[in-house]
Chain A
Amino acid sequence: EVQLEESGGGLVKPGGSLRLSCAASGFAPGFVFSNAWVTWVRQAPGKGLEWVGLILSMIGGGTTDFAAPVKGRFSLSRDDSRRTVFLEMSNLKADDTAVYYCSTQKTVGAMEYWGPGTLVTVSS
């Protein structure tokens, strides 16, 4: 079974930066981390799910896409040798306060494996 685990969350002041990690462990038939498209989704306290961004596999060019509210402030990278994806967040705002989940896609937009999430709190 594939397991994902996010880390790096915490309390940060407005305008600050934070780097989240998403590490994969375990195995499943047909799952190869280096081929996986990894998506980040966040959920503000008491609110619904919000798509944050996506990084394709390196075979797919390692292309990234982001939601409008975070574009230009967030970036994604991956280290397939460590089976880890990184979400770099800068110029953080109070509205970025949320639990951040990473997930891998089964097909386009279908997130199969999820981590338990990591809480990011932006507050002075």
Chain B
Amino acid sequence: QSALTQPASVSGSPGQSITISCTGSSSDIGTYDYVSWYQQRPGKAPKLMIYDVVNRPSGAPSRFSGSKSGNAASLTISGLQADDDATYYCSSYTTMNTLVFGGGTKLTVL
């Protein structure tokens, strides 16, 4: 199972909006609405930010939103804050009953 494809890095200024893409295939994102997004800071465990494509768990700010179209998913962060500076990973359930992650996207808040 190949990893999902994410851009290595994105950047934005405080107050701006950014979108991180996550491209998979018909074996994962294209078949299931089980796409999640995680935020990870250095030396820390990942934190769930979006699940089931569009849902936010309690504790995740409303500035975070998710979407999906075909074999690709996206995470949008609006009103960027300095605290959003972190690495973001997407994941998807697959037709092989496994889970696959993207390679991670480093978000830099300028």
- Give residues in A with beta carbon < 8 Å to B: 39, 41, 48-51, 54, 65, 67-68, 101, 103, 106-112, 114-117
Contact = CB atoms under 8 A, between A and B. Distances in A.
Given A48-B101, A48-B103, A68-B1, A109 B91 contact: yes
A123 B93 CA distance: 32
B46 A51 contact: no
Interface stretch (B16-24, B47-55, B69-77, B78-86): B47-55
Contacts of B101: 41, 48-51
- Which secondary structure dominates where chain A touches chain B? strand
A101 B104 contact: no
A67 B3 CA distance: 12
Contact of B57 (A67, A106, A109, A114): A106
B89 interface: yes
B68 to A, nearest CB: 13
10 contacts: A51-B100, A65-B97, A109-B36, A109-B51, A109-B93, A110-B36, A111-B36, A111-B38, A111-B48, A115-B45
B80 to A, nearest CB: 22
A117 B40 CA distance: 13
A-B CB proximity, top 8 nearest? A110-B51, A114-B45, A51-B99, A109-B93, A48-B104, A109-B34, A49-B101, A108-B34
Nearest to B101: A49
B38 A49 contact: yes
A49 B46 contact: yes
A51 B28 CA distance: 14
Nearest to B40: A49
Interface string B1-40: 1010000000000000000000000000000101110101
Given A48-B103, A103-B45, A110-B57, 7 more contacts: A48-B102, A51-B91, A51-B100, A106-B48, A108-B34, A109-B34, A110-B34
